Amino acid sequence: MTTSTKAPPNAPTTGKLPGHRVFTYALGDVANNLSFMMTSMFLTMYMTEIAGLSAGVAGAIYGITKVWAGVADLIAGQSVDRANTRWGRLRPWILFGSTPLAVVFVLLFSTPAGMSGAATVAWIFLFDAAFQLAYSFVNIPYGSLSAAMTQDPVDRSRLSGARSIASATTGVLLSAVVAPQFQDTTADNVRLKFTITCLILGAVAVALYMICFANAREVVPRSPGKISFRATFAMLRQNRPLLILSLGAFFLLAALFTMNAVGLYYARYVLGNAAWFTYLMLANTVGTISIATLVPTLTVRMGKRNGYLACAVVAVLGYVLIFFIPSGNLAIAIVAWLLLGIGTGGTNALMFSMQADTVDYGEWKAGIRSEGGSYSILSFIRKVGQGVGGWLGLAVMGAMGYVAMSPEQTDQALQGIRISAGLIPAVLAILALLVIIAYPLDAKLHSQVVSDLNERRTQNSVAETKDVDVDRVRVEAIGDGRNTLLRRAGDVNPPILTVFGQRGSGASDIAPMLAKELNVPYIGQKFSSEELAQVNPSDLISDSGFDRWLRTVSYSGSQNTDLAAATEISANRRMAAENTRYVIAAVDQGGVVLGRNGALVLGKVVGAMHVRLIAPLGKRIERVMDKTGLSPSEAAEQCRAEDRIRAEMSQALYRWDPNGDESYDLVINTGSMTYPQVVELIVDMYQRKYPEHRSLPGHRFQETPGDDATN
């Protein structure tokens, strides 16, 4: 009897996404932020200083349209999948939506002179609302495009990291171009100057969108799907961590966008020079990117909640410092904005990571997994926070005597600007901090959630494969913790072994030898040592420091990527589900599984044993050199890179670390043993552990070639 297994249809490959595609994808976010940041940072001052609206009215428009932006995101999120063209489902929205977006953007900043106050309010309000809708129909498909460009979760992290860097950089460059124009808004032809500026920005944005469209490729099949809000709200009622995180996000984004709305006023009137806003933005960006690089370390050492709290404290310090900065003191202001970058950048990055945990919790607690629904809720609440923050800042300024279009402001009005830029955001950030103290999903609980979910998923996959009720798959846990049956109770259980090894540990040689010795199929990986020996060094897995950095800062520098993050986590979950089904089917007649997160997928399966192979780095380098002909430095880099990337893929797909010894029954150092000795040791251990298990009668050893690099 022989067994054959098919590769999962959408198995990830190890082909690295070309650098030019990563770069041109990031250009799309530059295009996004030429308009998004223009409206977030400069629209309020445009309304008061050029269009002549009062601060209170400007704040009301800002607040209402930001809330509408949250609704627009939901509309776009439910609509974009309906397209199905020769360019794909997502790229057409970039192709055909970018020009209308640019037109509406230019019109928003082109209020005609001489209109009445009511007409001016109507013009800006209607075009801002139209802009938010048009922006959603470009930004939502753009964010979802990363999951359609590659199935590799590591490459998707590179794309989101590149997007974050592009977003942060655009903010600095845009402030350098636009902020100085607000120093003297009484100059002749100032309205025309702004229209011309926005025409140029709109044209550049459309050109960048076209470059992004031309270079992106939708290579991953994407089936249309809708968010079930009924299921989402049913989950939400039982998802206390998500409720707490969303409330914290409301206060945090309210604080941030209060500053966004009034920051330029602070630079012009308190510091004395609108052009200095560029230096403040640069300091903020440096802080944001710096803390994003350290977030993984913070998470390990402090946990996500405590890391969030620490960053929130830094943000509060920055806001308080802004309130007390002496007039005209740029140096202290730069320090304050640097602290804001650290505080808001860290909390933003950790918020996305915590949000992914709440998706797991919702599935664990309510049996409902809703990445899109959960992120839609968070996104809408963040947008409401943005609107409330902007409205509150302008309302306080207006109440304290700020006079639109006046080159000088009274001391009371200046105090109002200080309060709006410093004290109000500080209070809001403190409220966010206090809310997150109650966040219950710590590392220990989340680890239990992930373990339970993977056990459920394996059992459900077995039940689906065998076409039986899931209760027939579950048994009372035996002494080694196994509680999942692949065969009927009492039937012969053929040997099942999972092997995971460091690069150069000999895993790709030892695993087939084990399968042959036990007379069961071998389920391997495409990216094996044998294949590595046949390719050029330049084609091997490499992982530059820049690529690692890009993955680290994923989503940290962006303020409008909620649904893009949802798309990425959803794509990872689908890949994990496909891999789980494939592994379950592949070991139907027993088998030795190399990698594929087998120790997790089959962790609780009766009759399965899990082995991890390690070796000293020097020995691993020696083996890789012998197999591939690489130099010592190249072999060392390959060992480190492949181990790191496989671990990142496991974390992205299954939320676990394959290098933890506690996941394995046996950990063997192959550095001082021959491969046959290792095989003999493992087989002996298996037969002692499961003396009643044997290969099925008439079964012959067969290699089942691998197809991917899912560990």
Q: Which amino acid is present at 646?
A: R
- How do beta strands 666-669 and 608-614 pair? parallel
Domain spans of the chain? Answer: 15-217, 230-439, 447-704
| 470 CB neighbour count, 10 Å cutoff | 15
Q: What is the pLDDT of residues 380-411, one digit of tens each?
A: 898 999 999 999 999 999 999 999 988 889 99
pLDDT of residue 609: 93
Domains 15-217 and 447-704 agree in fold: no
Q: Scan for tokens 């595609």, then name that residue.
A: 21
Phi-psi domain of 492 (left: phi exceeds 0; alpha: psi -120 through 50; beta: other):
beta
- Residues whose CB is less than 8 angstroms from the CB of residue 416 and which lie 6 or more positions away in sequence, other chains included: 396, 397, 398, 399, 400, 401, 402
Question: Quick check: helix, strand or coil at residue 608?
Answer: strand
Please report the pLDDT score of residue 86 as a whole number: 83
Q: How far apart are CA 414 and CA 400, in angstroms?
A: 8
The dotted CATH code for 447-704 is 3.40.50.300
The whole-angstrom separation of Cα 706 and Cα 511 is 12
Residue 608 phi, psi (nearest 5): -100, 140
Q: Which of 5, 16, 14, 81 is closest to 546 using CA atoms? A: 16
Pick 15-217's CATH classification: 1.10.357.10, 1.10.150.530, 1.20.1250.20, 1.10.530.10.
Answer: 1.20.1250.20
Q: Which long-range contacts (CB under 8 A, 24 or more apart) does 622-627 make?
A: 622/504, 623/504, 623/506, 624/503, 624/504, 624/529, 624/532, 627/529, 627/530, 627/532, 627/533
Which residue's structure tokens are 């394996």?
458
pTM: 0.85
From CA 90, how far away is CA 77, in angstroms rounded? 11
| Per-residue model confidence (pLDDT) at position 11 | 39
In this prediction, residue 222 carries a pLDDT of 60
pLDDT of residue 401: 94
According to the model, what pLDDT value does residue 513 have? Answer: 94
> Which residues, 6 or more positions from 223, have their beta carbon under 8 angstroms from its beta carbon?
none
Query: In one letter, which amino acid is 691?
Result: P
Buried b (16+ CB within 10 A) or exposed e, 217-252: ebebebeeeebebebbebbbeebbbbbbbbbbbbbb
Q: What pLDDT score was predicted for residue 703?
A: 55
Which residue type, as a one-letter code, is found at position 235? Answer: M
Closest to 651 measured CA to CA, from 597, 599, 604, 613: 597
Closest CA to 69 of 79, 81, 77: 77
The superfamily (CATH) of domain 230-439 is MFS general substrate transporter like domains (1.20.1250.20)
Beta bridge partners of 498: 593, 610
Give the tens place of pLDDT for each residue, 638-674. 899 888 888 888 888 888 889 988 889 999 999 989 9
Query: What separation, in Å, do the N-terminal and C-terminal C-alpha atoms of the chain show?
Result: 28
Nearest to 647 by CA among 569, 510, 543: 543
Spatial CA neighbour of 124 closest among 112, 134, 114:
112
d(CA 487, CA 489): 6
pLDDT in tens, 270-296: 999 999 999 999 999 999 999 988 888
**Stretches in the chain below the pLDDT threshold 50:** 1-14, 224, 527-536, 699-700, 706-710
Per residue in 432-459, pLDDT (tens digit) is 999 999 999 988 898 899 888 888 888 8
